[in-house]
Homo-oligomer: A and B are copies of this chain.
Amino acid sequence: MADYNFSALQLSLSLYSASRLLIQQFQIRLNELHLTYPQYLVLSILWEEDGLLVNKIGQKLHLDSGTLTPLLKKLEGMNYVKRNRNEADERTVSIQLTYPGKSLQSKTAELLKPLEAAFSVIENPELSTLNHYLKSLLGNMESFKNKN
């Protein structure tokens, strides 16, 4: 069943391909709202917990300010978030959803319904196993990263 003769390269290629193909499926549907997949990810994080620091968003998505700063400025330009430099610590910027930004949640949910249905646990029970292994790999990789 499983491939017992594989390399880190093969694993990386599987991850790289699967990742991009799935993101493409999101992107196709998000186009209608003129949202990119990374922009949607950031909004998703904020729908869970509003007012996060740029730093905190970066930790959740494994992205740094080099990616997030221009992305957040675009979201601000579309009036979906506000970027506020904090008084307590002037180095930090926290991100607040605007009303239009909050409203997007239900719109994207509707838009992405077919995708959620196709990749539901009910349709594909093995996906929850896959997700579990992925999170485990993520954990291993973070500790590997700090050691090497």
Kindly supply a per-residue 1/0 record for chain A positions 122-142, scoring 1 wherever the CB is within 8 Å of any chain B CB and 0 otherwise: 001011111111111110111
- Which of B10, B12, B145 touches A26 (beta carbons < 8 Å)? B12
Q: Please give the number of chain A residues whose Cβ is less than 8 angstroms from any Cβ of chain B in the complex.
A: 59
A78 on interface, CB distance cutoff 8 Å: no
Kindly supply a per-residue 1/0 record for chain A positions 83-111, scoring 1 wherever the CB is within 8 Å of any chain B CB and 0 otherwise: 00000000000000000000000000000
Interface SS majority for chain A: helix
- Which of B7, B9, B115, B142 touches A21 (beta carbons < 8 Å)? B142
Identify the A interface with B (CB < 8 A): 1-26, 37, 41, 44, 61-62, 112, 114-116, 118-121, 124, 126-138, 140-142, 144-145, 148
